């Protein structure tokens, strides 16, 4: 089957449920940058590598391509509003949210408390891929929180029921 058009492609991709992340960094001038992403995945267990994709048109693109470190915050369902805030251009992304910022003695990119997990990454590589850049990071620290995940499916946020399904082998 041939690819008909970009709308068909986007519609097909929206059928894949995904978690939601906020990726954050601090540049060499101390300015904080961040974006919302659902295009996130593990790459390798040894070494522990993850990837996230960032649009080349994003305001934060240059900062993340140059970043030495960033944090991928995997969001809980209570963090839907912040996911929306970080998806907007020209928005005050960090001002109204309870991020934990690094200090001179313990530098780190902004961490969002209440996230299911915050993966502290050292920038490993980045690859141009069409209209996006794939950022690959080596995870060197993890913070966890017990919460219900924020889910994105069919162009909207969804709630999931936490029901265990039997797995037959």
Integer Cα distance of 155 and 147 in angstroms: 22
Q: So what's the pLDDT on residue 161?
A: 73
CATH of 6-158 given 2.30.110.10, 3.40.50.720, 3.40.50.1360, 3.40.640.10: 2.30.110.10
pLDDT given at position 81:
92
**Residue 57, SS3 per DSSP:** coil
**For residue 108, what pLDDT is reported?**
86
Q: How high is the pLDDT of residue 154?
A: 84
Q: Is the peptide bond before 41 cis (omega within 30 degrees of 0)?
A: no
The predicted pLDDT at position 162 comes to 67
Closest listed residue to residue 21, CA positions, set 82, 101, 75: 75
Residue 107 CA to residue 104 CA, distance in Å, equals: 5
The structural domains of the chain, with segments of one domain joined by +, span 6-158
Its sign, for the CA torsion 9, 10, 14, 19, is positive
Q: What is the mean pLDDT of each run of 10 residues along the chain (169 residues)?
A: 72 84 94 94 97 96 97 95 90 86 83 96 96 97 93 83 68
pLDDT for 129 equals 95
pLDDT of residue 10: 84
pLDDT of amino acid 14: 81
């Amino acid at each position: 089957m041939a690819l008909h058009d970009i709308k068909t492609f986007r519609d097909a991709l929206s059928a894949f449920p995904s978690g939601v992340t906020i990726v954050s960094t601090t540049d060499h001038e101390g300015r904080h940058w961040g974006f919302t992403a659902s295009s996130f995945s593990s790459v390798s267990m040894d070494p522990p590598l993850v990837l996230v994709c960032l649009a080349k048109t994003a305001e934060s693109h240059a900062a993340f391509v140059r970043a030495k470190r960033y944090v991928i915050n995997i969001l809980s369902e209570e963090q839907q509003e912040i996911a929306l805030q970080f998806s907007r251009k020209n928005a005050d992304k960090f001002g109204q949210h309870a991020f934990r910022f690094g200090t001179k003695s313990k530098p780190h990119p902004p961490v969002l408390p209440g996230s299911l997990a915050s993966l502290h990454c050292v920038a490993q590589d980045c690859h141009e891929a069409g209209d996006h850049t794939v950022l690959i990071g080596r995870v060197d620290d993890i913070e966890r929180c017990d919460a219900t995940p924020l889910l994105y499916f069919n162009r909207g946020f969804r709630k999931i029921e936490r029901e265990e399904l039997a797995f037959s082998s």
